[in-house]
A and B are shown apart, each in its own frame.
Chain A
Amino acid sequence: MTETFVPPTGFAVPGRIAVSNRAAALWQTATLTEVRRETPRASTFRFAVPGWAGHLPGQHLMLRLRAEDGYTAQRHYSIASPPGDAGHIELTLDHVEGGEVSGWFHTVAKPGDEVEVRGPLSGFFAWPGDRPALLIGAGSGVVPLMSMIRHHRACGVTVPLRLLVSARGPEELIYARKYGTETTPVFTRRAPEGVPVGRLAASHVAPLLAAEQPPGGWEAYVCGSNAFAEHASRLLVAAGQPVHRIRIERFG
């Protein structure tokens, strides 16, 4: 006897796009071409990857470093640059306390250095620009969301896009000068004169799911620490966003 299972609560299965398994399996050399400081703790690393198959905003890659004794360290990182940046990709990395890979990037790496990458990986968090997107990020969780904003601008995508981005203070807001009217920053510790200080709250989310909700509703993308992702996704559900239209990328 065979039955078809229908889950009581759907979530977004399957991913939005077909993933190229060949590209995901192949390690490629990426050459660092530029380092840009974003905040005291975060920098953007630009790479030339001539054979890059292209990606969609929201996708990530796996990056590998190798020591002289053959030891390797590999990590997943979200891609910050938009798909249109042919042959190049950008990653924005926090300097993690004691971080083996981020430590190398922030204290050793310079243009000309080579690392290995494989990807792009996973279509689940990807946004092809087809549906209105409500983006919520905190800290370096804004990185894949910035790829979406850049794609939205570069391609003249007309569907609505909104970003709520949380940072401890203005000096820690990654891409601070790159945001436009689509973005509302939320400062949790320190804010410029006249701007309230406080955590992302229902009052930020509720209007976007009421008066400002586009026809057909939002596709929600949440990226940040696990604690932030739990908090933000609960706010979204409480404000009426369907669970199967919330995609979450967490980092521990």
Chain B
Amino acid sequence: MNVTRGFSGRPRVYNAGLPPGQYDAGDDWPVLSAEVTPDLAPADWSFRIDGLVAEPHTWDWAEAHALPASAYEGDIHCVTSWSKFGVRFGGVSLDAFLDAVRPDGSATHAVAYSHTGYTTNLPLADLTGGRAWIAWEYEGRPLPAEHGGPARLLVPHLYFWKSAKWIAGLRLLDHDEPGFWEQNGYHARGNPWDEQRYSGD
């Protein structure tokens, strides 16, 4: 494209952690959800994994917290073009949940769904190997409801719409099944480093 007349942009501070087309949101953490924030108490929260697994299981708040704690410290990236550096989430690695249900060898994808009905699809490979969490703490405090508390999925290496707020479960499938934003034109995978924003990118 052509240069925009008279546009120089912000002073550039080189940051190797900033994917293409993103800017540093600094202290801001915009809230972007299309639905009403639910009133969901920890006592009413549960997380289930089913579909192509040997033993479907549902964890309640206490059972999930009994799993080994695991934290993520790093960056997050939203498709609307902000990134946030050096954030700290606490919770449990998704590997701990998946180990318990024993995924079938035929499972290739998952649909994550929220207590609100929101859905998003992910390749199973993006959810394993220490790259995904169920998170309930942010900077050492309970995750605020507007950011998905009491617990959200956290898949920080993908655009943040994949990190479903108010996570209710995962269904393992042998095929890819578009979720809410993916049915609305967004990319099936959403890798920020490849700028996979919209279907066709």
Please list the residues of chain A having a beta carbon within 8 angstroms of any beta carbon in chain B: 1-3, 5, 7-15, 19-22, 24-25, 27, 29, 62, 64-69, 71-76, 100, 104, 108-109, 113-116, 118, 121-125, 226, 230, 233-234, 236-237, 243-244, 246-252
Q: Scan B86-117; emit 1 where CB is below 8 A from any A CB, else 0.
A: 00000000000000000000000000011111
- Is B9 a contact of A7 with CB atoms below 8 Å? no
The complex places the Cα of A252 from the Cα of B78 at a distance, in Å, of: 12
> What residues of chain A lie closer than 8 Å to B3, measured between beta carbons?
66-68
Residues on the A chain within 8 Å of B146, using CB: 226, 230
Q: Which residues of B does A touch, CB under 8 Å?
A: 1-10, 12, 21, 23, 28-38, 50-53, 56, 80-82, 113-119, 146, 168-169, 171, 180-181, 183-186, 197-201
**In the complex, residue of chain A having the shortest beta-carbon distance to the beta carbon of B56:** A1
User: What's the dominant secondary structure at chain B's contact region?
Assistant: loop
Contact B4 A5 (CB under 8 A): no
Query: In angstroms, how far is the closest chain A Cβ from the Cβ of B41?
Result: 13
Q: Does the CB pair B117–A14 fall under 8 Å?
A: no
Question: Which residues on the A side are within 8 Å of B28 (C-beta)?
Answer: 252
B201 touches A25 (CB 8 A): yes
**Across the interface, do A226 and B31 meet the contact criterion of CB distance under 8 Å?**
yes
Cross-interface CB contact of A3 among B1, B9, B36, B56, cutoff 8 Å: B56
Within 8 Å by CB of B180, from A13, A22, A66, A76, lies A13
Task: Verify A1–B184 contact, CB threshold 8 A.
Answer: no
A114 to B31, CA, bound (A): 31
B190 CB to closest chain A CB (Å) equals 14
Is the beta-carbon distance between B21 and A72 smaller than 8 angstroms? Answer: yes
Question: Is the Cβ of A251 less than 8 Å from the Cβ of B4?
Answer: no
* Residues in chain A near residue B50, CB distance under 8 A: 1-3
Contact B185 A2 (CB under 8 A): no
Quick check: A247 and B34 within 8 Å, CB to CB?
A: yes
Chain B residues with Cβ below 8 Å from A72 are 9, 21
26 of the cross-chain contacts (CB-CB < 8 Å) are: A1-B50, A5-B171, A7-B115, A7-B168, A11-B118, A12-B35, A14-B183, A21-B185, A21-B198, A24-B185, A24-B198, A25-B198, A66-B3, A73-B81, A75-B81, A100-B10, A108-B6, A114-B5, A121-B198, A122-B184, A124-B184, A125-B34, A234-B36, A237-B36, A249-B34, A251-B30
Choose from A2, A10, A66, A108 the contact partner of B51 (Cβ within 8 Å): A2
How many angstroms from the CA of A114 to the CA of B4 in the assembled complex?
7
Q: Do A24 and B199 form a contact, CB below 8 Å, given A67-B7, A100-B10, A123-B185?
A: yes
Pair B4/A24 contact, Cβ less than 8 Å? no
Contact among A2, A11, A20, A108 for B35, CB-based, below 8 A: A11
Nearest 4 Cβ contacts at the A-B interface = A252-B30, A25-B200, A7-B117, A19-B185
What chain B residues lie within 8 Å of A20 (beta carbons)?
Answer: 185
Check if B114 sits within 8 Å of A121, measured CB to CB. Answer: no
Shortest beta-carbon distance from A120 to chain B in Å:
9
Q: Contact between B180 and A64 (Cβ–Cβ < 8 Å)?
A: no
Cβ 8 A contact of B199, one of A21, A115, A233: A21
CB-CB under 8 A from B116, the residues of chain A are 7, 9, 11, 243
Contacts of A64 in B (CB 8 A): 1
Q: Which chain A residues lie closer than 8 Å to B119 at the CB level?
A: 13
**CB closest chain-A residue, reference B179:** A13
Q: Shortest Cβ distance from B148 into chain A, in angstroms?
A: 13
Q: How far is the CB of B20 from chain A (nearest CB, A)?
A: 8
Are B34 and A14 in contact, with the CB atoms below 8 A?
no
Contacts of B38 in A (CB 8 A): 9, 243
The answer to whether A11 and B113 touch across the interface, beta carbons within 8 angstroms, is no
Pairwise interchain contact A65-B7, C-beta atoms closer than 8 A: yes
A7-B117, A21-B200 as given contacts; A14 in contact with B81, CB under 8 Å: no
> Are B200 and A22 within 8 A (Cβ)?
yes
Please measure, in the bound complex, the distance between the C-alpha atom of A244 and the C-alpha atom of B114, giving whole angstroms.
14
CA distance A71 to B115 in the complex (A): 40
Contacts of B33 in A (CB 8 A): 248, 250
